[in-house]
DNA sequence: TGACATACTGTGTTATACATAGTATTATGT
DNA sequence: ACATAATACTATGTATAACACAGTATGTCA
């Protein structure tokens, strides 16, 4: 395997789990899939459509998000927003994330 | 699903990809599986045996690690150390990691 | 009117952590 | 001397989920 492929693979792995946290953190204001996609990429986190849409559905199934179809706009969009349960989870997640970062910083120093 | 289960699940996901980076960063000095396990947990990263051992083999298959059995010690141990290819990869990975962290920090702020 | 951005759905595959169990040796305390 | 814990690794099964890829369809704008 070429070195660049290894890099790509591992970087993908690195980013994988963070997407959930990123998504939850951005859904204090409601977003639809495509707008969230843009919002994330504007901030430097490129996520594939094929990753994001299923993720949103999954997080809704897990009760961390809620969604509604809005048909009155230019075109139908499914809006997602963080749920009460998600709100409770988010600060804990952030704390876990901070802990992980500090562990990694020590380890990489 | 109970809230604490959601947390556990997502935290697991968060940590998942980082283990590779952590392992690579620690294998500048050679370690065997069990000592690496302790080294990581000492620094605050608990990794299951059933996760670490297969990971080490996988990283060796990918050419990022090298290993040798040492039989002359108290008991047989397989020692792992980062390979030349791994050494080339590591700084790039660290850079990617730093980028990800800064993106996440902005996003979570 | 052609191209591009928008917005979502669906399927298949692959990779991989994790759970769990099992084996066996060595060190340690009492 | 014996039980127990720590050490050190192997192996198998399963569930999950990202990613690749493809497809559908509408709005916008030059």
Examine the pLDDT at B45 and tell me if it is beyond 80: yes
CATH 1.10.132.10, applies to B3-108: no
Q: Nearest chain A Cα to B89, which residue?
A: A7
**Which tokens is A56 given?**
């949103």
pLDDT digits (tens, 9 = 90+) for A56-106: 999 999 999 999 999 888 889 999 999 999 999 999 999 999 999 999 999
The minimum CA-CA distance between B17 and chain A, rounded to whole Å, is 4
Interface contact flag, A104 B97, Cβ < 8 Å:
yes
User: A25 CA to C10 C1', in Å?
Assistant: 27
The minimum CA-CA distance between A79 and chain B, rounded to whole Å, is 20
DSSP B9-68: HHHHHHHHTHHHHHHHHHTTS-EEHHHHHHHHHHTT----HHHHHHHHHHHHHTTSEEEE
* Per-residue confidence (pLDDT) for residue A73, from 0 to 100: 83
Mutation to test the A interface, candidates B4, B10, B46, most A Cβ within 10 Å: B10
- Residue A3: which pLDDT band, with cuts at 50, 70 and 90? low
* Per-residue confidence (pLDDT) for residue B74, from 0 to 100: 83
Interface contact flag, A6 B104, Cβ < 8 Å:
no
Among A78, A53, A54, which Cα is nearest to A67's? A78
| Residue located via tokens 């809230």 | B3
- Going from N- to C-terminal start, the domains of chain A cover 3-108
What mean pLDDT is predicted for residues A43-62? 95
What mean pLDDT is predicted for residues A16-31? 95
Among B79, B73, B99, B76, which Cα is nearest to B21's? B99
Name the residue facing A62 among B1, B44, B85 (closest C-beta).
Answer: B1
* Per-residue confidence (pLDDT) for residue A2, from 0 to 100: 58
d(CA B96, CA B109): 20
């Amino acid at each position: 395997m070429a070195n660049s492929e290894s890099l790509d693979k591992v970087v993908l792995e690195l980013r994988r789990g963070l997407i959930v946290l990123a998504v939850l953190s951005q859904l204090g204001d409601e977003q639809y899939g495509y707008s969230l996609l843009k919002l994330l990429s504007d901030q430097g986190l490129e996520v594939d459509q094929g990753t994001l849409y299923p993720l949103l559905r999954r997080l809704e199934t897990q009760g961390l998000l809620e969604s509604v179809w809005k048909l009155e706009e230019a075109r139908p969009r499914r809006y997602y927003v963080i749920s009460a349960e998600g709100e409770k989870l988010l600060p804990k997640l952030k704390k876990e994330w901070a802990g992980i970062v500090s562990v990694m910083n020590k380890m990489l120093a």
